[in-house]
Amino acid sequence: MAKHIGLIYAGGTIGMRKTGQGYAPMTEFGSMLAASLHDESGAIPRYTLHEYAMPIDSTNATPADWQRIGRDIAGRYEDYDGFVVLHGTDTMAYTAAALSFMLQGLRKPVILTGSQIPLGEVRSDALQNIVTALQLAACGTLSEVALYFNQRLLRGNRTTKISAQRFQAFDSPNYPSLAEAGIGIRINQAALLPAANRENFELPEYAGGRILSFRATPGMPLQAVQALLDLQPQALILECYGAGNLPDNDPALLDMLTRANDAGIVLLACSQALHGEVALGAYATGSGLARAGVVGCGDMTFEAIYTKLHHLFALGLAADAVKLAMRRDIAGELSGGADL
Rounded to 5°, the CA angle 182-156-139 comes to 50
In the complex, the smallest distance separating the C-beta of residue 14 from ligand ASP, rounded to whole angstroms, is 6
Cα angle 204-208-214, degrees, rounded to a multiple of 5: 115
Using CB under 6 A as the binding rule, whether residue 209 contacts ligand ASP is answered as no
Among 255, 254, 260, 329, smallest CA distance to 299 is for 329
Minimum CB separation of residue 94 from ligand ASP in Å reads 10
Backbone phi, then psi, for 19, in 5-degree steps? -125, 180
Annotation marks residue 159 as catalytic: no
Choice between 165 and 197, CB closer to ligand ASP: 165
Residue nearest to ligand ASP (CB): 88
Answer for the pair 2, 46: CB distance below 8 angstroms, yes or no.
Answer: yes
Q: Specify the residue, 64 or 231, whose C-beta has the smaller distance to ligand ASP.
A: 64
Do residues 84 and 133 lie in contact, with contact meaning Cβ atoms separated by under 8 Å?
yes
Q: Detail the DSSP E strand segments found in 226-306.
A: 235-240, 266-271, 295-296
> CB of 170: closest distance to ligand ASP in angstroms?
11
Is residue 150 a contact point for ligand ASP (CB under 6 A)?
no
# chain residues binding ligand ASP, by CB under 6 A: 11
Closest CA to 295 of 253, 333, 328, 256: 328
- Is residue 57 close enough to count as binding ligand ASP by CB under 6 A? yes
Binding part of the chain for ligand ASP, among 51-59, 68-76, 178-186, 294-302 by CB under 6 A, reads: 51-59
Residue 300: partners with Cβ closer than 8 Å, 6 or more residues away: 157, 270, 308, 333, 334, 338
Residue number, 63 or 298, with CB nearest to ligand ASP? 63
Residue 165 burial (C-beta neighbours within 10 Å; 0-12, 13-18, 19+): exposed
Pick the stretch among 57-65, 151-159, 242-250, 272-280 that binds ligand ASP (CB under 6 A): 57-65
Residue 236 near residue 206, CB atoms below 8 Å: no
Calpha distance 319→98 (Å, rounded): 19
Beta bridge partners, 235, equal: 211, 266
Position 58 contacts ligand ASP (CB under 6 A): yes
Whether residue 294 contacts residue 267, with contact meaning beta carbons closer than 8 Å, is answered with: yes
CB of 101 to ligand ASP, least distance (A): 21
**CA 61, chain centre distance (Å):** 12
Comparing CB distances to ligand ASP, the nearer of 170 and 175 is 170
59 binds ligand ASP (CB under 6 A): yes
- What is the rounded distance in angstroms from the CA atom of residue 210 to the CA atom of residue 232? 8
Answer for the pair 122, 21: CB distance below 8 angstroms, yes or no.
no
C-beta of 57: minimal distance to ligand ASP in Å?
A: 4
Nearest approach in angstroms of CB 180 to ligand ASP is: 22
15 binds ligand ASP, rule: CB under 6 A:
no
In single-letter form, the type of residue at position 24 comes to A
Residue among 8, 10, 12, 229 that touches ligand ASP (CB under 6 A)? 12
Instruction: Indicate the residue among 88 and 233 with the shorter CB distance to ligand ASP.
Output: 88
* Candidate list 13, 89, 91, 258, residue with the active-site label: 13
Least distance in Å: CB of 12 to ligand ASP?
4
**Of residues 116 and 159, the one with the C-beta less far from ligand ASP:** 116
Closer to ligand ASP by CB, 58 or 285: give it: 58
Phi and psi torsions of 155, nearest 5°:
-65, 130
Which residues between 77 and 96 bind ligand ASP (CB under 6 A)? 88-90
Segment 114 to 143, residues that bind ligand ASP, using CB under 6 A: 114, 116
Active site residues per annotation? 13
Binding site for ligand ASP (CB under 6 A): 11-13, 57-59, 88-90, 114, 116
